[in-house]
Amino acid sequence: MPTHDVALVLKSFLPDTRQIDRIPAWMVIVPERPAAAIWRGLPYGEILAQRYRRRPQAPATGAPITCELPNSGGAQVALATLSRAVESFELLTSARKLVAAHAEMQPQEIGVVIHGFGVEMSERVGEAVLAAVLAAAAPMPDLRSRPRRRRPLKRIHVFGASPSHRYARTYAELAGSSLARHLATLPPTELTPGTYRRRVAQLARDHRLKMDFLDIAALKRKQAGAFLAVAQGSPSADAGILRLRYAPTRGQNRPAVALVGKGICFDTGGVNVKPPRYMLGMQGDMQGSAVALGTLLALAEMKVEYPVEAWLALAMNHVGPHAYKPTDVVTACNGTTIEVIHTDAEGRMVLADTLALCSRARPGLIIDYATLTGSCVQAIGKSYSGIFTNRPEWWLPLIENGRLSGERVWPFPLDKDYDKALESTIADTKQCAEEAPADHILAARFLSRFVGEGIPWIHLDLSSASNRDGLAHVPTHYNGFGVRYTLDLLLNHRLRW
């Protein structure tokens, strides 16, 4: 698991010029259209004010203003101005761009000055910058024969922000999301269902978590035909459903939060093989499972007072003589018969049995994560993720949680009349429709069949899981979307369940 060994030093006052001279890289954040008094309160304030006044009239969106200070060390400064009413997504994006301004230097210490805001806003800015710094500092896989040298960041000094319990959560959150990003970046030669399981087993030992694994033989005994249909095409019988459990010292009798994730380590599309352009990047089709895993580890690190479980559906979708095919009819472990329409809709198949088995444990809440449908990307793009729930009264809190956390979501309907498109003449349901203009909604309706009656359920279709230029505070293609969202949702008690 990637670790964040970056030390945080917090000071409520502003630095003096000696401190500025000692640290090579600085980020300065002040309110937009800063008054003269703001500049006077800053060391080297006159120089920063001059640079601000000479900025381009139409700068790149969110781009920081950079300059070098005339001191002995030639300290580099990246300056940003922010509205006091800035939304969290924009704030996190600005923080990522500030950090990127120092990327080539690879400083081992960074100074941050937050000046001119109230206490609450200063804390928001400080947390966003810390999140961006940790996201950029997390090591990602590099399998080149001569890996690029990285000089690790050791310390971040934040001036103008008071101590806050929120920073501890940020460390836990970024450890979880960095793990998700790390796993998604690994090629399928490095991350198979078998090697994935061994990595999780080591994490379970390190964090004293309980782990069970339902292998192919166990899933046959449980008659998990939907999952097994996808797994049967693999040359290696290493697929299965992994269950990881965190149990607190107190609160063990409370209903668990169950985090369910799609873990397709590579997706060829199966018999309905993908075109070449859509095959690239399919090692990232396991991001839902990585987000579930990273979220559980972050919650365990925070020592929440209720049990948390992660159910990871680990498999590959291969092409081969034993691969499942359109018009097959299979039976899931809850007895539902499924007519297969398209083998590239494998995610909902492995999740069907995983949700049904998870439901038998009667958790208090199920949240599932999956890079499930292209139609969700077509509907809302890659800056938001789609969200569904069987609790309509949660729609507004779920939207608001995305706005406040900076990992934005948009809800979609889950009405029963969509089932018309999934009616089969030979089975209880089709896996998907032959032509599906709203496949993300049909996929959610399909999955809802496998959630136990009365169990609150949230489904995240991770349309924003990968962005080549990064997203919000995260600079990498795979961004671990969902970890921050879920921590904010659970730890800020936005829902009653």
Partner residues linked to 65 by β-bridges: 79
Give the contacts of 172 (CB within 8 A, at least 6 positions apart): 297, 298, 299, 301, 302, 487
d(CA 89, CA 118): 20
Count of CB atoms situated within 10 Å of the CB of 330 = 24
Which tokens sit at 113? 């000055």
**Spatial CA neighbour of 371 closest among 474, 437, 440:** 440
3-state DSSP call for residue 6? coil
Element (H, E) at 196: helix 193-207
Sheet holding 429-430, edge to edge: 329-331, 337-339, 429-430
Count of CB atoms situated within 10 Å of the CB of 213 = 15
DSSP conformation letters of 16-85: -HHHHHH-SEEEEEEESS--HHHHHTSTTHHHHHHHHHTS-SSPPTTPPEEEE-SSTT--EEEEEEE-TT
Q: What are the catalytic residues?
A: 274, 348
CB 267 within 8 A of CB 344: yes
Dihedral sign, CA of 84, 89, 93, 95?
A: positive
